[in-house]
Amino acid sequence: MIHPSAIISPEASLHPSVEVGPFSIIEDGVTMGAGCKVDAQAKVCRGVTMGENNSIGYGAVIGGDPQDLTFDPKTDSGVSIGNGNTFREYVSIHRSTVPQGQTVVGDENFMMATTHLAHDVIMGDHNVLANNAMVAGHVQMGSHIFMGGGAGYHQFIYVGDYSIIQGNGGATKDVPPYCIVHGINQLSGLNIVGLRRAKFGPELRKEIKAAYRTLFQGRESRAASLAIIARQKWSDEAMKLIDAVRLPSKKGILSR
């Protein structure tokens, strides 16, 4: 299961079922659960812990130093990865800039070739990042998000569940749940197809549409729109969209 040319630290903890391809490197303190596979010439750096059934593609680097000019390489930080993730060729995920901090990847995410997660990103579950997608430092991503090829998220933003960003698009402000981003910082409506595929029922989709129209398509100010919203009762799913607008934000939130 371990190619003889692979270099594996005696201080790494690998489940007996882990496969490691030729010329790969596993550094000190790495922990890998059952069913993980590391392809040829990949590198898993110190401080990386991962659960079960993760696949690391050719030439990927997991846990490399942050691309931060102020970073001290002696900082004790790492990357925490859940279960069932796929990282294809040349994916890069960088460790936290904060002592004892973690860059976090949840479960069942699919990162296509050459995608990048910067330091201190927190990613949920079931996200898909197409080729060359880029996520900057300190971004918080929800779940069931799709990033088109070459798309990018600016640092310190929040990206809501079931959102989509167009290929080569970019966001420098928070992305509301369920929304589609095109170009740079432009919303183009709701991800209705994604909600339908996720088995959001007709009434629930209708409710989310109503909240979206009030928040983003009305002529009222943001404060007036929220006042209108407050007069009604909303489901937990619709409240995710409402709270994204209502609660404080470091970078502000995208609008049409």
- Over residues 50-92, the pLDDT tens digits come to 999 999 999 999 999 999 999 999 999 999 999 999 999 999 9
Determine contact, residues 56/80, Cβ cutoff 8 Å. Answer: no
Q: How far apart are CA 113 and CA 60, in angstroms?
A: 9
Q: How far apart are CA 184 and CA 166, in angstroms?
A: 9
pTM: 0.96
Angle between helices 202-212 and 236-246 (to 10 degrees): 20
Q: How many CB atoms lie within 10 A of CB 218?
A: 12
Angle between helices 236-246 and 222-230 (to 10 degrees): 150
According to the model, what pLDDT value does residue 43 have? 98
Task: Return the ∠ at Cα 143 (arms to 52 and 31), rounded to 5°.
Answer: 25
Q: How far apart are the first and last CA of the chain?
A: 52
Is the per-residue pLDDT at 218 higher than 90? no
Query: Going by C-beta distance under 8 Å and a sequence separation of 6 or more, which residues neighbour residue 248?
Result: none
Mean pLDDT across 215-241: 95
Catalytic residue among 57, 59, 84, 120: 120
**Does 120 participate in catalysis according to the annotation?**
yes
Q: How far apart are CA 191 and CA 91, in angstroms?
A: 27
Q: How confident is the model at residue 219 (pLDDT cuts 50, 70, 90)?
A: confident
- Over residues 162-217, the pLDDT tens digits come to 999 999 999 999 999 999 999 999 999 999 999 999 999 999 999 999 999 999 99
According to the model, what pLDDT value does residue 256 have? 78
Give CATH 2.160.10.10 domain extents, the chain: 7-189
Catalytic residue among 39, 47, 106, 119: 119
Task: Return the ∠ at Cα 79 (arms to 75 and 82), rounded to 5°.
Answer: 160
Determine contact, residues 157/254, Cβ cutoff 8 Å. Answer: no
Burial profile 50-60: b = 16 or more Cβ within 10 angstroms, e = fewer: bbbbbbbbbbb
According to the model, what pLDDT value does residue 255 have? 86
Catalytic residue among 137, 152, 169, 194: 137
**Does 119 participate in catalysis according to the annotation?**
yes
User: CATH classification of 7-189, choosing from 3.40.50.1970, 1.10.10.10, 3.40.50.300, 2.160.10.10?
Assistant: 2.160.10.10
